[in-house]
Structure 1
Amino acid sequence: MQQTRLYLQHGHVSVYSHSLAVALACVAIAARLHIRADQRALVRGALLHDYFLYDWHHKDASHRWHGVHHAARALQNAQRDFALRPVERDMILRHMFPLNLHPPRTREGVLLCLADKLCATREVVSGRLPGRSPRTG
């Protein structure tokens, strides 16, 4: 996970900070909406959902169509570095729905999709507001 501190995700927010915010948001949304979820899988899948390990802002043929392909790359890297359960694999692979056409199969995956979009929107918008700077890390 240390490598994710090296790459920016949205604005000035690192992939690490984004993934941590998404994990916290997943847990908060599940609690707020009283959705039963596998908390361990929810947090692990959220922390690894963007584990693609490259700077997608740099022009490189291997990063083309990042939004469409990074989930598969993140899953490949996560499977190489961690023992993943099926729920976690589904969460990582399908978190870009609806950009990727395959919806998540689990409630943890749905929570991740929602939390990821909310956090990404907040990071992009807050980075553009005068006098506001999102957390980096």
Structure 2
Amino acid sequence: MKLSATEKKEFIHYITELLQNEQIHKMKKYIQHGNTTTYTHCLVIAYYSYWLSLRIPLHFDTKSLTRGAMLHDFYLYDWHMPNQAHKLHGFYHAGIALHNAKKHYDINPTEADIISSHMWPLTLTRCPRTRESVIVCLMDKICSLAETFHISMLPKDYTFIEGKLLPNDYA
């Protein structure tokens, strides 16, 4: 599942602005599932969500989908560490990620819905309201399961994309 050269260029364009803020790079310090960092997890979800949205014969706001996917786990803490503040991480981290996204970026309602609903159906009251949110929610489940069992979900062109996205001062 590779992006064409044109698709890759558009994907990189969509998330470049997010990566200008050093806060998003803090996700590299935290493990998400297995041995995958939260940053890599979000980048992979954004990649596959974007890829899938281009291959389904429906109209998607691919920019909002990609940005929302990149920010869906922007909670900035290690949920594996015993701490009362994030004891029920699965239920509450989407709200924390949404708070952080609003604090550091101008996000639109579609991006907010993607972030706040990506844990559905665990969070029954926050079901996806947009088709973009459904795609990200689905890709998050697939990739999270693979990461938990140490199955690599990195796209074949991941190093190319990461190289384009990581200026030397963030590497």
* TM-score (ref. length: structure 2): 0.73
Larger Rg: 2
Higher relative contact order (CA 8 A, sep 6+): 1
Aligned equivalent of 1:118: 142
Q: How many residue pairs were aligned?
A: 131
Distance 2:153 2:60 in 1: 29
Aligned equivalent of 2:168: none
SS of residue in 2 equivalent to 1:126: coil
**Residues 86-120 of structure 1, C-alpha deviations (whole Å, 9 max, x = no match):** 10001100110000012110010001100100110
Distance 1:10 1:118 in 2: 12
Compute the RMSD of aligned alpha carbons: 1.6
Alignment of 1:29-68 (within 5 A): 29-68=52-91
Distance 1:35 1:51 in 2: 28
**Residues 8-35 of structure 1, C-alpha deviations (whole Å, 9 max, x = no match):** 0001100000000000110122123223
SS of residue in 1 equivalent to 2:149: helix
Are 1:17 and 2:40 counterparts? yes
Alignment of 1:83-98 (within 5 A): 83-98=106-121
Question: What's the CA shift for 1:134?
Answer: 6.9
* TM-score (ref. length: structure 1): 0.90
- Partners of 1:87 and 1:108 within 8 A in 2: yes
Aligned residue identity for 2:128: P
Mind listing any 5+ residue stretches in structure 2 that lack a counterpart?
A: 1-23, 155-170
Deviates more, 1:28-37 or 1:90-99: 28-37
Mind listing any 5+ residue stretches in structure 1 that lack a counterpart?
A: 128-132
Deviates more, 1:118-127 or 1:16-25: 118-127
Moved over 3 A (4+): none
Distance 1:70 1:58 in 2: 14
Distance 2:153 2:119 in 1: 22
